[in-house]
Structure 1
């Protein structure tokens, strides 16, 4: 689907696209003319307040066959994705180190489960009604969405496929997102997901603000995730008069409305509020070349900043293949306690600082001020390793969702999924006492 994507030239700029079947569909010089070309309707999608500062203002103009207001009444969608929740008070808090084995994916032999039906909430904090907080989900599905579209009124989705590619149709066009790629579908954007068998992945949802590239500071003009490597869809439309189900996530609940036409009828669009994808292989790693560790924030791909300078509602951080050349330094991540909460997932491979129980498709959560670090075997091996330049994380892609919110774990993640590893704490139990006051 290479021909259905184009590269962004930078975050915050203006982009435009029109379906090649209708040249000239973009009006010239006026967003909402009295009569749009081809008899289209003009519709604006606003991602920020109208009066947001110009460099922060997000909006896109659609030129579509029918406006999205043409649908029946929304009714509660009962019995679907019962494990999607914003209820953070259902179970008691748990400050322990938590680790999940790979979450089960429905097989081809089981009843069909599509992307929306396969949403399961692991943990979260805050309130979408006040636009404050975030949620971490996994999706576990085996079937494509058929004549069905989904949009989220609560926040933005950062989607991290782990098993199986996703073909995502949006109002802006199509994206194919493979494991080791990510995509962001922002608040209000309608989309449908096609899969090709059992599929699994992670989702970071933020209620407030939008994801952006982190500031580079003394790094300078280049490095980390570069704007040129992000891609957004090329306009594509379908003109189908069929019964379509529109599912809306609103205040943590799902609602359904029917309409008599495809929601993917946008012939042209322009704006700076767009879905986009990014290949994690394009990340330019910045790392130490002398001694000590750089903080993991140096691996930030995208951030959703809070109103407190330097503090993120959520960061998306990766630990990609790279050279490690530190001198006289313990190379795996050191033991630490953090004022942030850290959820880690594994797309592929074997993460250097975790025991064998941390597997692709699983996860771990180290909450605010909960101590964590390398397991006993990793510590022993790294302490005795020859210090030389070496490649680490080849064939591996681990990531972290980091937030300053205290995260509450859901009932599904605690008990129902039956994947929580009750023996996780034991990976540190065999750390030995090496202290000897008579030997430096």
Structure 2
């Protein structure tokens, strides 16, 4: 078991490291003014633009903002207009279906293999305009975004989880390579562009958080380290499309590369809008602050488990959480958990997840951690494999099938064994409120799914 994923697609970018830190990042030395964030004449002829992700007077420890020093302000753009609202991905019907059944998606019907913008809404709760709840989307992309086109969500913060494949993401604040067995988070409003390394397809999941921001769970009596350690998160470094030249007074100035107009596609209340602007949005020469994209290798999770007897609750697998403010302490809009390869020993204890009913909803993802390009878990003929997802709603009983229940009862629990080393990591979106499904997601789901924890991973149709 590797403590760091040996990715098939090798890293090509460098990063800052540390979740929640304040960073100063410069593509050109001296691009960020010190100490005045609002310098009258910023270095290199740049313009100051601040992005605030939280209330301006919130607690300092949770106040998220970033100052960007860019060649041209994003203020310079044409009018936004509705974009492609005759297509489902640009104007999805509202999610309105609830079911008391456990449901699964062995695969996902995908009408057209598009780019990053052609995501499909699975379900939602809350309201992005009230900044409550979340939405879940699938993506299955087979081509780069159109040239000089970027995307942003005005609805929420995006947690991106590839099932298989890689994403090359250029954001206003820098570049990230995100591969299967990694996750990435992009804050609300950040503009970015997604391409495919070597043109190879990528599929996966997005949880768009409408309320607040993802953060690390508190460790309590665990102490200073464990679960997802803050020092393992990676943050892109400043990068811009342009160059530095001598100005009229022999001062150095940053100049953008000459391009034609750029298209800005933004999601608002799940619907897409578009505008154009005359310059590249990737003209940020330096930035400093606490609001930024980041990524994380799921192999680095420092798993906590019982070593004598019993089962810890699945909360010990939580990587990121988003507290539900105004609710009982410990309540989350969403917890993102990762259940991957680990050693297990607990005497006289049933090894598999037990039969369980839970006030939280559980949306389970299959993440292929096997990095072999020919892994049998990836069926190139299927839209999703070995399965897409399954959902257990409020108080829906879930657990093993009878065959595996009996096999685990007969197993020797006194010896350490490696579990979940078959190349598949389970990701979990655990959320507080029921998930309303869109019509296509409800109609394509297999109802009353019973074999979620079998060695076959999920039932097939």
| Same fold at TM > 0.5 | yes
Alignment gaps of 5+ in structure 2: 1-9, 242-255, 371-383, 454-461
SS of the aligned residue for 1:134 comes to strand
Q: Residue deviations 1:243-298, cap 9 Å, x none?
A: 21101111221100011211111000000001000000111011000111100110
Are the structure 2 counterparts of residues 95 and 422 from structure 1 closer, same or farther at C-alpha, using a change threshold of 3 Å? closer
Q: Any conservation in 1 of the 2:144–2:194 contact (CA below 8 Å)?
A: yes
Are the structure 2 counterparts of residues 123 and 263 from structure 1 closer, same or farther at C-alpha, using a change threshold of 3 Å? same
1:28 deviates by 1.4
Q: Any conservation in 2 of the 1:105–1:198 contact (CA below 8 Å)?
A: no
Q: How does 1:227-306 map to 2 (within 5 A)?
A: 227-238=230-241, 239-240=256-257, 241-306=259-324
RMSD: 2.1
Cα distance in 2 between the residues matched to 1:123 and 1:160? 16
Q: Any conservation in 1 of the 2:101–2:448 contact (CA below 8 Å)?
A: no
- Residues 1:421 and 2:446 aligned together: yes
Cα distance in 2 between the residues matched to 1:38 and 1:257? 28
Cα distance in 1 between the residues matched to 2:182 and 2:369? 15
1:5 deviates by 2.9
Instruction: Tell me the equivalent position of 2:438.
Output: 410
Q: Which runs of at least 4 in structure 1 moved beyond 6 Å after TM superposition?
A: none
Q: How does 1:114-263 map to 2 (within 5 A)?
A: 114-117=115-118, 119-145=119-145, 146-195=147-196, 196-238=199-241, 239-240=256-257, 241-263=259-281
Q: Any conservation in 1 of the 2:153–2:190 contact (CA below 8 Å)?
A: yes
Instruction: Tell me the equivalent position of 1:372.
Output: 398
Cα distance in 2 between the residues matched to 1:340 and 1:244? 42
- Residues 1:6 and 2:7 aligned together: no
Cα distance in 2 between the residues matched to 1:95 and 1:272? 41
Instruction: Tell me the equivalent position of 2:428.
Output: 400
TM-score norm. by structure 2 comes to: 0.85
Alignment gaps of 5+ in structure 1: 351-357, 429-440
Cα distance in 1 between the residues matched to 2:36 and 2:427? 43
Q: Any conservation in 1 of the 2:85–2:91 contact (CA below 8 Å)?
A: no
TM-score norm. by structure 1 comes to: 0.89
Q: Any conservation in 2 of the 1:376–1:427 contact (CA below 8 Å)?
A: no
Cα distance in 2 between the residues matched to 1:86 and 1:215? 36
1:172 deviates by 0.6
Q: Looking at both structures, which has the greater relative contact order when contacts are Cα pairs under 8 Å and sequence separation is at least 6?
A: 2
Q: Any conservation in 2 of the 1:105–1:200 contact (CA below 8 Å)?
A: no
Count of residues in Structure 1 that have an aligned counterpart in Structure 2:
409
